[in-house]
C-alpha cells in the first residue's frame, strides 16, 4: 500500500522531473518579479517592466525598438507601447534615425538616467536579500553560468515567431 501523498491526486505531469524544474523556474521568477515590481511601484512610482526597457535603452547605443524586441523577447507592438509610456513619462526620447528613416533612435533623458540611478539602491538591496543571500556566493556564480548556457542555447535554437 502506498504512503498517503501530500498532493492528493496524481497529475500526469506530477512525476515529470523536467517539468518540475521548469515549474520551479517559473515560480521563482514570478515571485521575484512581483515582489521587486511592488517595491518599485511604491518607492519610485515605476513598474519593473518599464524600468527594464529603460535600462536597455540606456545601455544600448543607438537603441531602436527592434533592440528591445530582441533583448527582452517581447513583441514589436509591445515594445512600441513601452516606449510610448517612457516618452510620456519623460524618461526617454525618440530621435530621428539619420541612417534609416523607418526607425527612431531611442535615448534616455536626464530624468530617465536619474531614475535608473535612484532605483539602483533598492534593486540591489532587494536582489541581495532574495538572490545573493539564499545562494552562497558560489551558488550565485553557478546560477549565472547555467543561465548563460540556457540563454546562449535559446539564442541559436530555431523557434517561434518572437526573436
Partner DNA sequence: GAAGATTGATTCGTCAATCTTC
Partner DNA sequence: GAAGATTGACGAATCAATCTTC
Nearer to DNA, 72 or 140 (CB): 72
Cα 71 → chain centroid? 9
Nearest distance in Å: CB 147, DNA? 20
Residue 93 site contact among DNA, a second copy, none (CB < 5 to 8 Å, cut-off depends on kind): none
Among 35, 44, 55, 85, the residue binding DNA under the rule CB under 7 A is: 85
φ, ψ for residue 63, nearest 5 deg:
-65, 135
Residue 95 site contact among DNA, a second copy, none (CB < 5 to 8 Å, cut-off depends on kind): none
Among 101, 145, 151, 153, the residue binding DNA under the rule CB under 7 A is: 101
Which spans in 45-160 are helix H?
A: 48-59, 65-72, 76-89, 110-127, 137-156
Could you say which residues in the range 17-46 bind a second copy, by CB under 8 A?
18-36, 38-39
Select the span of 6-14, 92-100, 118-126, 150-158 touching DNA (CB under 7 A).
92-100
Select the span of 79-87, 90-98, 123-131 touching a second copy (CB under 8 A).
123-131
Nearer to a second copy, 87 or 127 (CB): 127
Name 10's Cβ contacts closer than 8 Å, sequence gap at least 6: none
Among 43, 66, 73, 77, the residue binding a second copy under the rule CB under 8 A is: 73
Which pairs count as long-range contacts for 59-68, CB under 8 Å and 24+ apart, including other chains?
62/97, 62/105, 63/105, 63/106, 63/107, 64/97, 64/103, 64/104, 64/105, 64/106, 65/103, 65/104, 65/106, 66/103
Amino acid at each position: 500500500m502506498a504512503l498517503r501523498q501530500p498532493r492528493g491526486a496524481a497529475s500526469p505531469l506530477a512525476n515529470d522531473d523536467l517539468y518540475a524544474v521548469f515549474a520551479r523556474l517559473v515560480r521563482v521568477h514570478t515571485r521575484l518579479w512581483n515582489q521587486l515590481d511592488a517595491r518599485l511601484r511604491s518607492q519610485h512610482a515605476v513598474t519593473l517592466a518599464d524600468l527594464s526597457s529603460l535600462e536597455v535603452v540606456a545601455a544600448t547605443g543607438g537603441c531602436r525598438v527592434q533592440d528591445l524586441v530582441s533583448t527582452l523577447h517581447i513583441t514589436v507592438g509591445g515594445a512600441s507601447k513601452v516606449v510610448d509610456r517612457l516618452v510620456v513619462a519623460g524618461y526617454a526620447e525618440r530621435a530621428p534615425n539619420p541612417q534609416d528613416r523607418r526607425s527612431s533612435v531611442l535615448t534616455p533623458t536626464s530624468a530617465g538616467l536619474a531614475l535608473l540611478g535612484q532605483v539602483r539602491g533598492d534593486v540591489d538591496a532587494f536582489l541581495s536579500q532574495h538572490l545573493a543571500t539564499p545562494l552562497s556566493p558560489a551558488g550565485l556564480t553557478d546560477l549565472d553560468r547555467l543561465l548563460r548556457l540556457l540563454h546562449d542555447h535559446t539564442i541559436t535554437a530555431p523557434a517561434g515567431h518572437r526573436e
